[in-house]
Amino acid sequence: MVELSCHGNQLIVEKIIDTLLAGEVRLAEPGEFTRRAFLNNRMDLSQAEAVVEVINARSTAALKGARNQLDGMLSKKVHSLREQLINTSSLLELELDFAEEDVEFVEREKLMQKINFIKIEIDALLATYSFGRVIRDGVNVALVGKPNVGKSSLLNYMLKESRAIVSEIPGTTRDIIREEITIDGVLFRLYDTAGIRVTEDSVEKEGVYRSREAVKSADLVLYVLEDEESERGELLPELKELTSENKIITVGNKSDLQKEITFTADVRTSAITGEGMNTLLKTLKEKALGSNTFTEKTTIVSNLRHFHSLRKAAECLEIARASSEKGLSPEYIAVDLRNASAALSEIIGIVSSDDILNNIFASFCIGK
Ligand SMILES: Nc1nc2c(ncn2[C@@H]2O[C@H](COP(=O)(O)OP(=O)(O)OP(=O)(O)O)[C@@H](O)[C@H]2O)c(=O)[nH]1
Ligand SMILES: [Mg+2]
């Protein structure tokens, strides 16, 4: 290995690279080093994937989750479940060799218990996914409402800086302003949007259109109101949909003015005095994480690929359970247990096609 140190001047760096590339040297491909580590069994596939998660982590929670995955927390669990499946299916397959003697190497009741046990473990992993995604990717939060209710003021308060222009003129915000905050280590992306109203102003119209788009891609909406609530569907049809999905936090702002309000708010705030702001942050976090109480020791699934493989494994176990209940002969049960273990193998990359590997390592940067 040769290590070159040079001045941090981009031009010099480029010249050195050019000189090297003129010889028998080539640039590494994205993720090539991690890929080699994986191919040489230094780490499994879920650990290799965690390398890029560590690099991309934008919050303490995301970093912790990625570190746990890199340390093999998920791998260990998956390995152990997979082994149990293989052992059980091997015993079932052994019964086939002694078919004439009609022996049972696995008592059917014990088999059921085993399948149920593994299924419960897999279901528990699947249940962590929505939480895992929040931890890894953060939460998109759109601040929406009529003009002048104090959306930009709330954003500024949460950021502790005067990021967005605030004025008493309705229709101040036009472009979407995106900023990030972390609440107890979890990343929240806040989108301040243009106040929604019917307008002839073409620039403001575009702003309202953008507000609508922000709502569509939001995980949560802070629906900001001042003194009266207008029909949500009239304001934005999307808001009505999100209400039924429990994705809206209704914020009654300007509480310091002590006006009579005609709506029920989840939180009453004042962006001027700061009243209710801590409750707002707490509500945001609770809504994003749900009632999950995971500790550092909980294995969390945050990767869609892993989620799909686990779901496949769970489905196979369900079929195996049904076959066993129906008293089908052992080969039927064994084949589904094998399929379940194959699905788990995908997570740790015991068998993986070049396509899958290319796909995974393409998201890496060069030199990792
Ligand atoms: N008294 C009081 N005034 C507030 C509060 N929040 C905002 N304001 C005032 O309300 C006016 C509008 O605030 P903005 O934050 O610009 O409102 P907005 O919802 O972003 O408005 P648009 O961008 O036009 O949609 C400003 O004069 C703020 O100072 C509050 O909690 N209490
Ligand atoms: Mg504004």
Per domain, the residue ranges of the chain are 31-128+300-368, 137-289
In the structure, ligand 2 is a single-atom ion and the residues with CB under 5 Å from it are: 151-152, 172-173
Q: Is the CB of 167 under 6 A from ligand 1?
A: yes
d(CA 236, CA 145): 9
pLDDT tens digits for range 216-271: 999 999 999 998 887 887 888 888 888 778 899 999 999 999 988 888 999 999 99
Distance 181 CA to ligand 1 centre (A): 20
C-beta of residue 269 within 8 angstroms of C-beta of residue 276: yes
Distance 153 CA to ligand 1 centre (A): 6
pLDDT tens digits for range 78-120: 999 999 999 998 888 888 877 777 777 778 888 899 999 999 9
Q: Which pLDDT score is estimated for 227?
A: 85
Q: Which ligand is nearest to the CA of 253?
A: 1
Distance 162 CA to ligand 2 centre (A): 12
pTM for this prediction: 0.82
Helix (H) or strand (E) holding 363: none
Mean pLDDT of 356-367: 83
Q: Is the CB of 174 under 6 A from ligand 1?
A: no
**Residue 220: strand pairing partners:** 141
Quick one: how many helices (H) and strands (E) in the chain?
Answer: 15, 6
- Whether the pLDDT of residue 296 is over 80: the answer is no
Per-residue DSSP letter, 30: B
- Whether the pLDDT of residue 36 is over 70: the answer is yes
Distance 255 CA to ligand 2 centre (A): 18
Q: Which pLDDT score is estimated for 293?
A: 67
pLDDT tens digits for range 238-252: 888 887 788 999 999
Mean pLDDT of 51-72: 92
In terms of CATH architecture, what is 31-128+300-368? Up-down Bundle (1.20)
d(CA 181, CA 191): 11
Distance 243 CA to ligand 2 centre (A): 22
Atom in ligand 1 nearest the alpha carbon of residue 257: 1
Comparing 24-38, 282-296, 307-321, the range with the smallest average pLDDT is 282-296
Q: Long-range contacts for 190-194 (Cβ within 8 Å, ≥24 apart)?
A: 190/141, 190/143, 190/155, 190/158, 190/159, 191/140, 191/141, 191/142, 191/143, 191/218, 192/143, 192/151, 192/152, 192/155, 192/164, 193/142, 193/143, 193/144, 193/151, 194/147
- The closest of 164, 171, 187, 144 to 284, measured between CA atoms, is 187
Task: Give the number of other CB atoms < 10 A from CB of residue 60.
Answer: 14
Confidence of residue 339 (pLDDT cuts 50, 70, 90): very high
Report the Cα–Cα distance between both ends of the chain, in Å, rounded. 15
**What mean pLDDT value characterizes the chain?**
91
Please tell me the residue having the least CA distance from ligand 1 atom 24: 171
| Amino acid identity for residue 208 in this structure | V
- The closest of 136, 149, 141 to 284, measured between CA atoms, is 141
- Whether the pLDDT of residue 342 is over 90: the answer is yes
d(CA 139, CA 130): 11
Identify which has the larger pLDDT, 89 or 319.
319
Mean pLDDT of 307-311: 97
Please tell me the residue having the least CA distance from ligand 1 atom 21: 148
Atom in ligand 1 nearest the alpha carbon of residue 173: 23
- Whether the pLDDT of residue 1 is over 90: the answer is no
Give the CATH number of domain 137-289; options: 1.10.1740.10, 3.30.910.20, 3.30.750.24, 3.40.50.300.
3.40.50.300
Mean pLDDT of 162-180: 95
Largest Cα–Cα distance in the chain?
Answer: 88
Q: Which ligand is nearest to the CA of 256?
A: 1
Percentage of residues in the chain with pLDDT exceeding 70? 99
Distance 230 CA to ligand 1 centre (A): 18
Q: Is the CB of 156 under 6 A from ligand 1?
A: no
